[in-house]
Amino acid sequence: MGAPRAQAGFGGAIYFIVIVGLGLYFTFASVQGDFGLFRRVQIEAETQALVKERDVLSAEIAALSNKTHRLSDDYLDLDLLDEQARSVLGMVRGDEVVLR
């Protein structure tokens, strides 16, 4: 028959160590890797911040679009024109008193 093997358990121990090592590696990569959970949380936070910034910019664009329409030739708002002339050009009417 055959001679008994002297180191029967050594291969099983190596197999177990390799499997545990691979398991630990993949667990670490799924939590902290480039596509892991921490990166996903960071991307979601950046997404929320960018959505808020987009909403603020959209509101600002809407306000500027409204002012542009009110100053156009088709629809001239005299009060807005007077306000813009005062703030940009520093103009005042002759019957007004300016206090500094």
**CB of 54 within 8 A of CB of 48?**
no
Cα(22)–Cα(12) distance, integer angstroms: 15
Q: Specify the pTM.
A: 0.59
In the structure, what pLDDT confidence band is assigned to residue 8 with cuts at 50, 70 and 90?
low
Cβ proximity of 72 and 65 under 8 Å: no
Q: Which residue ranges make up each domain of the chain? A: 14-89
- Assigned token pair, 17: 């160590």
What is the average pLDDT value for the chain, to the nearest integer? Answer: 87
State what percent of residues in the chain have pLDDT above 90.
48
